[in-house]
Amino acid sequence: MKLTIFGAGGRTGTHLAEQALAAGHDVVALMRNPAKLTLRHERLRVAQGELTDEVAVEDAVRGADAVLAALSPKIFGGPRDLPLASGTGTILAAMRTHDVRRLVYSWGPSILIPRHPLLRTMRSASFALLGRLPATHSMVNETAAVGEAIRGSDRDWTIVVVTAPHDEPGSGRVKVRTGNGTGDRVGSRISRADLAQFMLAQADDPRYAQQELRISN
């Protein structure tokens, strides 16, 4: 497959890129700072650009069979212009332009919290409190906006929610619970290697299309 990866320089994204290449896929990684990714491979193309750069994002997405994104908000004192939310919109627009249907997007637990303050309180009192604190207000709004952008799109998206990813070796075992409450009983911790492996497996598996999943080891 031809895969486009956003966030390839991050701790989960690096696993994604390495595993995708090891599996024989062609990878395009769009990064603000390409030097951050030390991985080199003949089937890897590292392009420079911001998530909000429409031209760069379209170039990265063009010809892809699937798009994988391992992105995370800046929890404290994040920017006011919600760049990841607008960047997610740019990614989705580029996918529509080039008829790329599959999106697998990993985010933290707050992506499940609705934007409306009342619903946010009902779903998670802790994130409602974070949403009122000046230091974390932008993070809560950003994550809610990202969730709304993905859920409102017509792409074959899957949101993969994790709570406490860690850098210990992968176990090869992943528990999955769907947004409607079916599946395994999941915990909070998961190896980033296992998270990447699960995301990569979804790239050509439509089983969880247009679903939000919570996973753990």
- Domain locations in the chain? 2-216
- Give the global pTM: 0.86
Q: What percent of the chain has pLDDT over 90?
A: 65
Q: Confidence class of residue 109 from pLDDT cuts 50, 70 and 90?
A: low
CB 36 within 8 A of CB 71: no
Question: What pLDDT, on the 0 to 100 scale, is given for residue 115?
Answer: 41
Which two three-digit tokens encode residue 129? 């409190």
Average pLDDT over residues 58-66: 98
- Rounded CA-CA distance 5/105 in Å is 10
- Rounded CA-CA distance 20/1 in Å is 9
Residue corresponding to tokens 């994040």: 78
pLDDT at 129 over 60: no
Query: What does the mean pLDDT of the chain come to?
Result: 85
- Rounded CA-CA distance 13/145 in Å is 22
Q: Confidence class of residue 130 from pLDDT cuts 50, 70 and 90?
A: very low
Higher pLDDT, 19 or 77: 19
Q: Over the stretch 132-154, which tens digit does the pLDDT of each residue have?
A: 544 445 566 777 788 889 999 99
The CATH code for residues 2-216 is 3.40.50.720
Residue type, 128: A
